[in-house]
Structure 1
Amino acid sequence: MEVRIRPARAAEATALTELVVRSKAYWGYDATFLEACREELTIRADEIDGRRIVVAEDEDLGMLGAASLEGTAPHGRLGLCFVEPHAIGRGVGRALYSHVMAAARELGFTRVTIESDPNAEPFYRRMGARPGEDTVSGSIEGRELPLLEVLFTTPGDGWTHAWTQGRRAIHLGNVAEFQSQFGPASTEAAHYSCLAAFISPHPAALILPREVPPDWIDLVGGVLGWGPVEVYDGLSRERAGGDLSRAVLSRPALAERLNSLGLPLLPWGRTGAFAELAGESPGPDALRYESKRAAHELFTRLAPDHPGIRVPEQWRADTRRAAARLLRKRGRAGRATVVKTEHGAGGSGTWVIRNHGFRASPLPRGPLLLEEFVSGTTDPRDLTYDGLVDAEGRVHEVGVAVMDVEGTAYQGATVGPGVVPPPLAETMARFGRAVGEQVAASGYRGWFDVDFVTGSDGRPAPTEINLRMTGPSVAFMVKARLDGIRGGDHLVRTVDHVPLGARLPGPELSAFLRETARRCAGIDAVLVPSIPTAAFEPAPRVGVVLAAHARERLDAAEALVRAAAQDTGRMFLS
């Protein structure tokens, strides 16, 4: 069924009224009830334009539903949203609702209320409307109806405005360049750099080290309402991604083009080469707390003022042999230990040693950091607080997230309402803000996060600071964009590693992503493809961002995507 939405016509007033009454009757109301409602449900020819009534229709099936956006910005209401009974459950209501909310956003509405039939309330809740106070029925005396609301954010809201001054931005995917300041870049850095598409909620240009599928950014932008995005990819011949800032500097025409846009230039992480490209002068200690040793020292200093925080003990071992001696001693005492290199991303350079019979040879030569393993099965276990330091050194809170960690490897994160219990979130936020103030005092400007694990006593234990964009930051960006263009309060989950059942070249990958996105939409979820470049690797996989207004739909969308990804192998079976 192909649904088209268009403005209603005055000549359709009677037909629309009968459609609305049939739709109301779908819920089992008797003739007396419907007659009492008829005056309120009647649509008059002279009010169709003023009420902004639209019609959903199919070329073969004709008129299938109607909806309206009523009132004057900034506050309005969803006056109608009715579907022919035979079309209910086929996506017509979802299409009408989405159309009206998109129109509300474009027209400058910040709040849309919905006086819902009790039977329709679950639908509106799934679509992101939040419950408010009940309201009195306009037709039936003594009857109360659920009143819901949809809120839209504006470019001047909170941290998003502090991040980009309410403007679009230029994104630089210099993941490998950032990592190379502290050691060899990971082999996954070039694939991970695709996440630079989400450095801000609304990019104008994207600069990447490796080539990306030509229609990937259109798939992403179509969901997030970006419009045209300039993409400059394939700038580095190095497999990991190389020095992307210098690659731009070596192309004067590209550097001039980016400068001509007059927009904020945002990197994945700050480097000397980026400072040269952006004309900045970072202080010598700006990245001090990217060090896990320096971060631990900061946590220890701050902890006395934050009794809800527990800082694990940490020791330094100058050599692999010294580390092995301490690890065996702790292992014999039944104590697990986390071994860390001073720098590392996404769990790289981190091991958990649980017994004294391990072999020391796999460990790096040193120096190494040995840290008390915080035990516990409290859910949620792995957490993060994200914030940013603006150009004036002010700290802005972004939010808290639950991370998906397998062993020590980061897999993704979930953000949104209720993901982290409020008391735990408040404890993390207080400590995260205090960390941000110290990070700002060191001269750092940009995005940062503080990672935590939750112990058996329920207290969060800080483990590291990241002075760069990270996987969870992607979830916050997508949430900010979807909340702004669709309304509501989204739950967003990043899934960075979805194994595919077959290696997919460009056209097959695009077809898979489009079909899977369509299936997610069928369960009121959103799919945004985030990492497309690994789909033709020997171990093929993709990354996605998923969003929904209910936790069960978010979980269902992830299950759908993982199953569909594994099924890709079947298309090549004879």
Structure 2
Amino acid sequence: MVKVRAARAAEAEALTGLVMRSKAHWGYDAGFLAACAAELRIRPDEVTARRIVVAEDPQHGVLGVASLEGAAPLATLGLLFVEPAAIGQGVGRLLYREVLRRAVEQGVRRLVIDADPHAAGFYRAMGAVPVPAAGRDATPGPAGTVAGGGPASTKPGWPGALVRFEVAPAPLADWARAWTGGGRAVHVGNVAEFNVQFADSSLDREQSAAHHYSCLAAFYSPLPSALVLPRAVPAGWTDLVGRQLGWTGVEVYDGLVERGPGLADAVRARPALAARLTGAGEPLVPWGLTRPFALLTGRPWRPGELRHESKAAAHGLFERILADGGHPGIVLPSQVRAATRWAAARLLTARARAGKSTVVKSEHGVGGSGTTVVTAGQVRAAGGARAVLRRLPRGPLLVEEFVEGPTDPGAARDLTYDGFVDPAGRVHEVGAALMDVTEGAYRGATVGPGAVPERAEKPLLAFGAAVGRELASSGYRGWFDVDFVVDAEGRLAPTETNLRLTGPAIAFMVAARLDALRGAGHLVRIADRVELGARLPEAQVDELCADLARACGEIGAVFVPAIPTGAFDPAPWLGVLVAAHSPETLDAAEALVRSGAAAVGALFDAAPAAAR
């Protein structure tokens, strides 16, 4: 394994030779290289002052060199050169991330990179943001120290003209450190196990969807040590995710459940595995709390903690908070629990006669399952409310006022607050997200700077924190969210709480990791379902994902396959994450991924034609 260490003064001459070989790799002529030589030389007395580090292979061979130069809060990536034979093997990525880590430790908040044009694609893929010439100031740090470049005096149009980038080094977010202590954690993908606690008929009894969503266990914290999964996942998937998110040494225990939802029980049935997972001193993070998980971890089981997973209980909680005042930007839709289907039909009929739409909900349900919006026209077309209700899941129904949204179809409609209650009962705010909800069904979410309209963010965060305090006082400990819809006047209407991890939670985790790995300010979007144009063998799925990762990297974005197992369904699909530093690049990356995924079917259409 390649490791990074501080350079030694005695290595200065050898490191200068590496730098010059790396520069020559790009085909510059002897005259240009001679002009670079003085500025690229590393002197023994500079090694410590320039904070020079090297990448070393297991045989102690030096594969690359980098430096962090200048003083906080502004510094320069002075050198980053890789031995030509090692280019493309991840050495540059390792050195770059190490420099960013050290920059955070030094208090650097702005890192400038003047890059050789041949290295520009690398820095863009690593998350550095290009700086237009008009926006540049003087290069900080010692003159002539350029990352992969040549003389600092090189002018546009000359060979090796430099390309400027900047990055904002950032520590791991405070909330992420509080979530798992800032260290590694064991992730337990018990999605199905969580769902079956609620015995709601709107949920898939086979829990096939839940087993797909268990793949999100890879992202239950910013830094996993082990993934525990019910179904087998492709080995290539975990390798790619690890490269994209800078993970090493992640153990994968998959294929533990052949049928049914019992993942924690399956672990307990393997005493050696249970001892390994629980005895490492690392926190175990589940999708949500269950009795089997409590038995596995020795955590006290308090089923009452989860009572606000009920949509009726959550509505009551919202009522109590709003009764105290202090949340003028929040409006609560009326809700009635129908004792019988006859009662639900009467309520639905009365609202339809008044021309009003209605939300009909099951007591529980995930991702929008069990929630149906019924218009007055639909009631008439079906021949009455009873006919509509016959199509809905059995069990208790909640009849709720439908909140009309903004007239602007492009305005934000569905928002969510994410936070968690730590073991001591303290509430930690994670943030707000914009959700993609279509016909009542959750499709994905976007988190990061500017994702939520500024007008909505303040009341959303204040109300979400109030819900967190109430949950904490009721005894709940763990992740939670509060979902909202925006009404026609721009006010927020809370609709439910979820006492578990969710898709937006996964996006927040990845954003925290990427900010620490690539610089602050990432927007992250999770898309639950990206349709594939054809069902592919596992090796081709790995190849497709690697191609999408490269293509996104070329535009400065990050692609991470989040749910790979859907690719093997009869109607194949992928769950994906994309990230970027700007909304435009984020949208471009999503479009690139969707078109690339859809196009795989054309490969099979073209093959017979080529054979003719």
TM-score range, shorter chain: 0.7 to 0.9
1:73 Cα offset (Å): 8.0
Q: Is the 8 A contact 1:335 1:354 kept in 2?
A: yes
List per-residue Cα deviations over 1:188-245 (Å, max 9, x = no partner). Answer: 111011111111111111111111112221111111111011111111122xx51111
Q: Which residue of 1 aligns with 2:101?
A: 105
One-letter amino acid of the structure 1 residue matched with residue 69 of structure 2? E
Equivalent pairs counted in the alignment come to 529
1:116 Cα offset (Å): 7.4
Q: Which residue of 2 aligns with 1:31?
A: none
List per-residue Cα deviations over 1:10-49 (Å, max 9, x = no partner). Answer: 35889999999x9xxxxxxxxxxxxxxx99x944542774
Q: Which residue of 1 aligns with 2:16?
A: 10
1:110 Cα offset (Å): 4.4
Q: Which residue of 2 aligns with 1:375?
A: 404
Identity of aligned residues (%): 52
* 1:470 is aligned to 2:502: yes
Task: Go from structure 1 to structure 2 and tell me whether the alpha carbon gap of 1:412 and 1:102 turns closer, same or farther (over 3 Å shift).
Answer: farther
Question: Of residues 410, 427, 435 in structure 2, which corresponds to 1:395?
Answer: 427
Q: Which residue of 2 aligns with 1:329?
A: 350
Secondary structure in structure 2 of the residue aligned to 1:201 = coil
1:74 Cα offset (Å): 8.6
Q: Is the 8 A contact 2:227 2:251 kept in 1?
A: yes
One-letter amino acid of the structure 1 residue matched with residue 310 of structure 2? S
Question: Of residues 549, 558, 564 in structure 2, which corresponds to 1:517?
Answer: 549
Q: Is the 8 A contact 1:350 1:408 kept in 2?
A: yes
List per-residue Cα deviations over 1:418-440 (Å, max 9, x = no partner). Answer: 11123311110100000001111
* 1:214 is aligned to 2:235: yes
Q: Which residue of 2 aligns with 1:34?
A: none
1:175-574 residue pairs with structure 2 within 5 A?
A: 175-183=191-199, 185-186=203-204, 187-238=208-259, 241-303=260-322, 304-355=325-376, 356-357=379-380, 358=382, 359-360=387-388, 361-377=390-406, 379-573=411-605, 574=608
Q: How far apart are the structure 2 equivalents of 1:500 and 1:13?
A: 44
One-letter amino acid of the structure 1 residue matched with residue 331 of structure 2? R
What CA RMSD, in Å, does the superposition of the two structures yield over aligned residues? Answer: 3.7
Q: Which residue of 1 aligns with 2:32?
A: none
Task: Go from structure 1 to structure 2 and tell me whether the alpha carbon gap of 1:137 and 1:504 turns closer, same or farther (over 3 Å shift).
Answer: closer
Task: Go from structure 1 to structure 2 and tell me whether the alpha carbon gap of 1:102 and 1:74 turns closer, same or farther (over 3 Å shift).
Answer: farther
Secondary structure in structure 2 of the residue aligned to 1:513 = helix
List per-residue Cα deviations over 1:457-507 (Å, max 9, x = no partner). Answer: 001110000000001000001011111111221110101101111112211
Secondary structure in structure 1 of the residue aligned to 2:364 = coil
List per-residue Cα deviations over 1:501-530 (Å, max 9, x = no partner). Answer: 111221111111111111111111111111
Q: How far apart are the structure 2 equivalents of 1:416 and 1:217?
A: 25
One-letter amino acid of the structure 2 residue matched with residue 226 of structure 1? W
Secondary structure in structure 2 of the residue aligned to 1:538 = coil
Structure 1 or 2: more helix by fraction: 2
Task: Go from structure 1 to structure 2 and tell me whether the alpha carbon gap of 1:260 and 1:12 turns closer, same or farther (over 3 Å shift).
Answer: closer
Q: Is the 8 A contact 2:124 2:553 kept in 1?
A: no
One-letter amino acid of the structure 2 residue matched with residue 370 of structure 1? V
Task: Go from structure 1 to structure 2 and tell me whether the alpha carbon gap of 1:229 and 1:209 turns closer, same or farther (over 3 Å shift).
Answer: same
Question: Taking structure 2 as the reference length, what is the TM-score of the superposition?
Answer: 0.78
List per-residue Cα deviations over 1:118-163 (Å, max 9, x = no partner). Answer: xx9x9989945599x98557899xxxxx996512214xx4111211
Question: Taking structure 1 as the reference length, what is the TM-score of the superposition?
Answer: 0.83
One-letter amino acid of the structure 2 residue matched with residue 345 of structure 1? V
Task: Go from structure 1 to structure 2 and tell me whether the alpha carbon gap of 1:81 and 1:189 turns closer, same or farther (over 3 Å shift).
Answer: same
Task: Go from structure 1 to structure 2 and tell me whether the alpha carbon gap of 1:67 and 1:274 turns closer, same or farther (over 3 Å shift).
Answer: closer
List per-residue Cα deviations over 1:77-110 (Å, max 9, x = no partner). Answer: 234789xxxxxxxx99x99798534433157444
List per-residue Cα deviations over 1:326-349 (Å, max 9, x = no partner). Answer: 212211211111110011100000
Q: Is the 8 A contact 1:376 1:456 kept in 2?
A: yes
Q: How far apart are the structure 1 equivalents of 2:97 and 2:432?
A: 27
Secondary structure in structure 2 of the residue aligned to 1:569 = helix
Structure 1 window deviating more from structure 2 (301-310 vs 43-52): it is: 43-52
Q: How far apart are the structure 2 equivalents of 1:480 and 1:563?
A: 27
Structure 1 window deviating more from structure 2 (499-508 vs 459-468): it is: 499-508
Secondary structure in structure 2 of the residue aligned to 1:287 = helix
Q: Is the 8 A contact 2:332 2:493 kept in 1?
A: yes
One-letter amino acid of the structure 1 residue matched with residue 366 of structure 2? A
Task: Go from structure 1 to structure 2 and tell me whether the alpha carbon gap of 1:547 and 1:491 turns closer, same or farther (over 3 Å shift).
Answer: same
Q: Is the 8 A contact 2:225 2:249 kept in 1?
A: yes
